[in-house]
Chains A and B, each alone.
Chain A
C-alpha cells in the first residue's frame, strides 16, 4: 500500500458527484434502550451465567461485572475546529489527546483515547442515547458515533493479587510505574484482546467483547483460583 497524501484524480470526480451538501450528519440514530421495565425483565449480560456471587474469604482477587453500561465509540479528527470542544460540551469531560489516557468523572462517565481518531466513551446505560444525541448535535464534519453497548461489557478487577493475575494474562506492563491511574490501552489478554484501564489505585477495568466474555471470564477465574476469589453480584 502506498501512503497517498494527495488526492488522486478519480477521487475528485466521485466526490463531486455527491448530490447534496452534508455538513451535518444524517446518521440513523435510534434509542436502543427499551423502557426501564422491559430492560429489567429482559436484559441478559454477557457474564451473567458465569459471574455468580462467591466469596472464598480473604480473597486476593475481587471481580465484578459492570453490566449494561452505555458504550460509545467516537471517531473523528481532533484537528477539526470545534471537535474537542464539541465532545467536551456533549459529554462533560475533556477529550483526551494524550495516547493511552482516560478522563473520568464522578457521574460514571469516562472517555479513553484509543487511537489518534478513536475514543471509547462509557456512561451509565440509561444515558447512552442522551450522550449519543448530544454528540451528534455538537459535532460536524468528519466524525462517527456508534453505540456498541450490546457488544461489550466491563469486568472490574481488584484485590491484592490483581497485578499478579494481570501479569499471568497480558504482555502489557502493569507495574504501577508503567501503568498509573488514568492509563488505558487495548491489550492482548490470554489469546484474546480487551481494553485494559486503571480507574483507581486499586481497580482495573477490563472492557471485553461480548462474544469473548465467557472465555476471558473463565481465564480470569482460573488465573485467580490460587489467590481466592470474591465475585460481587
Chain B
C-alpha cells in the first residue's frame, strides 16, 4: 500500500486515549477496494469498527446485512476474504482474529449471493424473486430431492452457492511446516488461568508450551480496566501481573510461548494440533527472514503432551431477540473489549440487555468513554451487586425484569423495543417501550469453551449452576486432560486463579516433578449476584410470526426455524441440527448451539440436558491447507526411491514409470521414437542380441538358520527340501486363504543360508509376513531374516549374447555345462565382488549380476563399454512386461488380484501337494470354493485377425470377456484381460486373461465388448506364446 495516499478518512469511532493500540503508528488497509486507516495493535475488526463500517457482509441464506458481533474466534459474520495478490488469497478469515498490517486488503464474501441467485433463477425462478421468506429449514432437501437424475446438475450450483470465500487460482509461493513437539504440560489459553497454571509448571522445571489464539498472550487480562471496576492482582492492575508472569516464563529454557496459535484439535492420548500463524500479522505473503531465506507462513505443531490444561475461557452467549442480526447488535463483552483493548466505541448510544452482573462492564466502560448509555434492560427482577450499583450511581437507567425484545433498523440499529418479560411463561408481560439507540449489546451468560474436550468423543456435561456445559473431566477419553478457569465454569477471578494453581500442581505431580514455590496473587474483592437463565427472549408475537430471531448467525438459523423443525417431527437434536444447519461448518456452534438447544428444549417441553449434549469436532477454527500439508509438497510430496544406476538412466533420456515409490526406467526412446517404437526395438534386441535391465528394485531378503529350509517349505507353496547349495528355484507364496500373494526366485547359498527375492511391491510386506509367522506361530524355528533390497544392485543381462558379454567382465566360468540354468556363482564382476544368478524372466539366456550398490553404476557402465559390439540395449519395465508375458510369466498384482490360486494360474507344478507340513495356503485349496471348475483360470488370448492390419490389435487391459456377445444386457461376464501387448517377436497382439473354466476352453472364441460399443474377438490359447519348450534359457 502506498504512503502517498492521503485520502484515508479519519476513524470516527476511535477514542482519544486508552487501549493497547499505538496511535503513533498508523496502518493503511483496504476493505472492498476502499482505503482506510487503522493503528498498530488493531485487529482488522477493531480497525473496521473504528472507521464506522457497520455492514461487512451479507448473510448466508437471507442476504441480510451483517456487522461485527464479537471480538474473538466466535465472530459469526465478519468472515472475510484476505489477500492483496491472487496467490495470497485466503478465505474464511475472521476479522476479529486478523492483526492489522500495512497494506492489508480485505473483501466481503459476497460471491455466494450471486451464486445463490443463479441457482434460484435457473431452477426456481419464482422463489428467486421472492427471496428468503420462502426458504424454510430443509429447503434444499425438500426442493432438490427430485428428480434424482437432476441432482448432478443441481449439485454443481448448490456447491457454488454454499461456500464462504474462494481459494486462490495461483500457486501459493509461501512455505509451511510442521513441528513435532513433546511436552510435559501443554497449557491452552493464556488468560489468568493459563498464565497461573503455566507459571506453576514452569517453576517446577517441566517442559511447558503455552499457546493462545490471540496476537498477544493475556486473554481477558488484556481488556481489563479500572473503568469497568475490574479487579487488581496483588494490588496492581491485572495487566502488570500478566507482564511479570510472561517475563518469567520467557526466561525459562524449556517453556515455549506461542501467541497466534490456536489449539484446533484434541486427539487420542493427549495429542493436540496447534495452528501457529507466524507471519500473517506482517504481510500478505511471508517476508524473508533475517538471512534472506523463506520462512514458514504458518506452522502446524503436532504436540504430544503428558498433561493438557485447557484454559480456553468462555464465550458470552447473545440473547435471542427479534432482528438481533442488524448491524449494531453486539455481545456485551465485545463492546467492552473494543473499548478497553482497542480504544474503539461500537457506537454512540447504547442499550444493554443482560441477565448477569458481569455484562454491566460494557455500560461502565461505555460511560467512561463519554458515550451515552440509554438504558440497561436486566431480565432479573431485583438486580444488585457492585457493578449494578455502580451503574445506578452513574445515573444509568436500569429496567429490571425486562429485556430487549426487538431491534429496530435495517443497516444499523436505530432503536430497541424493550418490554417486561415472564421467562417461565415465555411471554411479554408489559407495555413495550421503544428507545432510540445505535447499539444494542446483549449478554445471556457465559458458555465455557469446551470444544477441545469434546473432540475425542467425551460428551460435555450440563451444569445447572452455571447454566452451561462443562468438560467431562475424568472421562476415559480425557486421561491426562484438565481444565480450569472459565473453561471449567469458574468465573470469579479468585476462583479462576485458585483452580488454575491446583491444575498446575496436579500436572507437575503427574509428570513427576516437584512443585516449586508459586503463589496465587491476592485478588481485590468484587461481589457479583447470580445470573438468571435466559436464552430466547419472548416477543409480543409468537415465535413463528415474530420478526426473525437469529440463533446461528453464520448459518442463518432462526428460533422459528428450530421450532418448525421440532413441529415437523425432528426430536433428536442431532436431526434438528442437520435439518437446520445449526452449528455447521466453520462456526462449530460457538455462539448458537446452546441457544438452539434451549429453543428446541422449550418447543419439546423438556430441559436442555434432556435435549442432548453438544459434541464438537476438530477443527476449532479453520486451518489453511498449507499448514496441513507442511513441507510435504512438490518434490517432497512423497518419497521417490532411486536405484544406484539412476543417473545413468536420466542421462540416457529414459522415461520413468512409478512402481510404488520407485522410479524405474520405463523405456529408453531414441531420436523421435514413441513408446511403441522404443519397446519393439528393445524387445527385438533382447530376443536377437542382448539387453540389460536395472532390476535393483526387486525385494531381497537374506535368510539364515538351520531351519531356514523348513521355513521356506512352510511359506512357499512348492518344495525346498532338495534344493542343493548353489541352486535357485522359483517359488509362489499364498495367504492362508490359498490366494497368490507374491512370487520370486530363492537361492540356496549354503545349507543354512538362502537369498529370497520378492516382487518390487512386496519387499517390505513380505519381510513383515515372514516375521509374523516366525514370531507368532513358529518361534521354535531357527531362522533369521534381514532385508538386503537396497544393498545389492541387480543388473539383468539377457539375450543370446549374454554369455559372451558377461564373460568379458567376470572371472566366473560361464560355461553352459558348468554354470547351468538356475544356479548361482560368486566371483568378481568388473573387479567388484558379487554374485551371478543364472535365472531368466525373459525366456532368454540370462545372468542377473548382483554387486554391492555403491559399485552398481560402475558395473553398469562397464557393461556398456564392453557391450557395444554385442548390440547391448538397455530396456525398461515395459519391454520386461512384454517379454515375460510372451513366456506366460505372471506378475503378481497385475495378473492376480487376491482371488487367484496357484491352480487358477495353471501352476500346479509349483504346488507341493505332498509336503509334510501343511504350508500356508494348502488347506484352502481344498475348500469347496477353490475346487469349483468354473473358477477364473489363466489363459492366453490372441485377437482374431480378419483383415490386414488386425495383427496390430491390442486388447485393452481390463476388458471384460463374454462368451455370447448376442446375449441380452446385462451379459454374463466370464473374465477379464490382465496383461496385453503387441509382440514384435510374434508379429501380432496377445494377452493374458482369466476366463471361467478357461483351461478347458483352449481354442474357443470369446468376445470383449468395449466402452465405445464395438466388440473385439479373440481365441483362447495357452498362456505361453514363445519358446513353449523353454529351450532358449538353457543354451
With a CB–CB cut-off of 8 A, which chain B residues contact A168? 177-180, 631
Q: Are B293 and A18 in contact (CB under 8 A)?
A: no
Size bracket, chain B contacts: 35 or more
- A4 touching B776, Cβ below 8 Å: yes
Q: Tell whether A15 pairs with B710 under 8 Å between CB atoms, given A25-B752, A171-B302, A223-B177.
A: yes
- Say yes or no for A127: interface residue by CB 8 A criterion: no
Q: Are B639 and A215 in contact (CB under 8 A)?
A: yes
Mask: chain A, 66-89; 1 = CB below 8 Å from B; 0 = not:
011000010110000000000000
CB distance from A174 to the nearest CB of B (A): 8
Q: Determine how close the nearest CB of chain A comes to the CB of B317; give it in whole angstroms.
A: 39
- With both chains docked as a complex, state the minimum distance between the C-beta of B455 and any C-beta of chain A, in angstroms: 19
List B contacts of A226 (CB < 8 A): 289, 291, 293-296
CB-based A-B contact count at 8 angstroms: 218
Bound-complex Cα distance A117 to B786 (A) = 12
How near does chain A come to B543, taking the closest CB pair, in angstroms?
Answer: 52
A210 adjacent to B853 (CB under 8 Å): yes
B295 touches A167 (CB 8 A): no
Out of A11, A18, A34, A38, name the residue touching B780 (CB < 8 Å). Answer: A11
**A171 CA / B182 CA spacing, docked (Å):** 9
- Closest Cβ of chain B to A25, distance in Å, is 7
Tell whether A11 pairs with B781 under 8 Å between CB atoms, given A150-B853, A214-B642: yes
Alpha-carbon gap, A115 to B644, bound state (A): 29
Chain A residues contacting B792 (CB-CB under 8 Å) are 150-151
Mark A10-47 against chain B: 1 for CB-CB distance below 8 A, else 0. Answer: 11011101101010011110111111001001111110
Complex Cα distance, B713 from A17, in Å, reads 12
Which residues, 851 to 870 on B, are CB-close (under 8 Å) to A? 851-858
Contacts of A18 in B (CB 8 A): 706-707, 709-710
Query: In the complex, A210 Cα to B641 Cα: how many Å?
Result: 8
Chain A, 155-176, CB within 8 A of any chain B CB: 167-173, 175
Q: Which residues of B sit under 8 angstroms from A197, Cβ to Cβ? A: none
Cβ-neighbour of A22 out of B291, B706, B772, B786 (below 8 A):
B706
In angstroms, Cα B294 to Cα A90, docked, is 50
Q: A1-B772, A10-B917 are in contact. Are A152 and B790 (CB under 8 A)?
A: yes
B721 within 8 A of A: yes
User: In the complex, A214→B961 CA distance in Å?
Assistant: 44
Interchain CB contact (< 8 A) of A223 among B304, B631, B858: B631
- Smallest beta-carbon distance B793→chain A, Å: 7
Determine the distance from Cα of A46 to Cα of B772 in the docked complex, in whole angstroms. 31
Return chain A residues, CB-CB under 8 Å to B702.
Answer: 144, 146
Interface residues on A, range: 35 or more
Chain A residues positioned under 8 Å from B395 (CB to CB): none
User: Is B791 a contact of A150 with CB atoms below 8 Å?
Assistant: yes
Task: List B contacts of A143 (CB < 8 A).
Answer: 784
Give chain B nearest CB distance to A146 CB in angstroms.
4
CB pair A28–B749 under 8 Å, yes or no, is: yes
Any chain A CB within 8 A of the CB of B628? Answer: no
Are B784 and A14 in contact, CB atoms less than 8 angstroms apart? Answer: no
Report B943 CB to chain A, min CB distance, Å: 39
B705: interface (CB < 8 Å): yes
Whether A148 lies near B791 (C-beta < 8 A) is yes
The answer to whether A44 touches B854 (Cβ under 8 A) is: yes
B855 touches A34 (CB 8 A): yes
Cα of A169 to Cα of B179 in the assembled complex, Å = 7
Q: Mark B789-804, 1 if CB is under 8 A from A, else 0.
A: 1111100000000000
A105 at interface by CB-CB < 8 Å: no
A209 touches B790 (CB 8 A): yes
Given contacts A167-B179, A215-B636, A226-B291, contact A33 B752 (CB under 8 A): no
Asked if B779 contacts A5 (CB within 8 A), the reply is yes
Which chain B residues border A11 with CB–CB below 8 Å? 710, 778, 780-781, 917
Given contacts A168-B631, A214-B642, contact A42 B858 (CB under 8 A): yes
How many angstroms between the C-alpha atoms of A186 and B749 in the bound complex?
Answer: 30
How far is it, in angstroms, between the C-alpha of A178 and the C-alpha of B780 when the chains are bound?
36
Judge whether B337 is part of the interface by a CB distance below 8 angstroms.
no
In contact, A149 and B791 (Cβ under 8 angstroms) = yes
The smallest C-beta distance from B811 to any residue of chain A, in angstroms, reads 13
B696 (CB) vs chain A CBs: closest residue: A211
- A34 and B833 contacting across the interface, CB-CB below 8 Å: yes
Bound together, the chains give a CA A15 to CA B778 distance in angstroms of 12
Measured CA separation A228–B831 after assembly (Å): 41
Residues of B618-651 whose CB lies within 8 A of A: 631-632, 635-636, 638-644, 647
- The docked-state distance in angstroms from the alpha carbon of A180 to that of B704 is 35
Residues of B within 8 A of A27 (CB): 704, 749-750, 752-753
Of the candidates A35, A76, A215, the one whose C-beta lies within 8 Å of that of B784 is: A76
A218 CB–B CB distance under 8 Å = yes
Q: Is the CB of B631 within 8 A of A219?
A: yes
Q: How far is the CA of A177 from the CA of B631 in the complex (A)?
A: 27
Residue B382 is within 8 A (CB to CB) of chain A in the complex:
no
CB <8 Å contact, B751 and A13: no
A26 contacts B852, C-beta separation under 8 Å: no
A residues less than 8 Å from B32 (CB atoms): none
Give, as a whole number of angstroms, the nearest-CB distance from B992 to chain A.
30
Residues of chain B lying within 8 A (CB to CB) of residue A55: none
CA distance A94 to B66 in the complex (A): 73
| Most chain A C-beta atoms within 10 Å of own C-beta, residue among B638, B644, B697 | B644
What per-residue 1/0 map shows which CB atoms of B955-993 lie under 8 Å from chain A? 000000000000000000000000000000000000000
Q: What 1/0 mask marks residues of chain B from 917 to 948 whose CB sits below 8 Å from any chain A CB? A: 11000000000000000000000000000000
Q: How far is the CB of A229 from chain B (nearest CB, A)?
A: 10
Taking the complex as formed, is B899 at the interface, i.e. its CB lies under 8 A from any CB of chain A?
no
Shortest distance between the CB of B271 and any CB in chain A (Å): 10
Chain A: which residue is nearest B705 at the CB level?
A142
Give chain A's interface residues, CB within 8 Å of chain B: 1-5, 7-8, 10-11, 13-15, 17-18, 20, 22, 25-28, 30-35, 38, 41-46, 49, 56, 67-68, 73, 75-76, 117, 141-144, 146-152, 167-173, 175, 177-178, 190-192, 209-212, 214-216, 218-219, 222-223, 225-228
Sorted nearest first, the 4 A-B pairs with minimum C-beta distance are A151-B790, A151-B791, A150-B852, A1-B776
A-B contacts besides A22-B752, A150-B791, 14 pairs, CB < 8 Å? A14-B713, A14-B917, A20-B751, A34-B831, A75-B784, A148-B791, A150-B790, A150-B856, A151-B789, A168-B180, A175-B207, A190-B632, A191-B638, A223-B631
- Could you list 6 A-B pairs, sorted by A, with CB under 8 Å? A2-B777, A27-B749, A30-B833, A222-B636, A226-B295, A227-B291
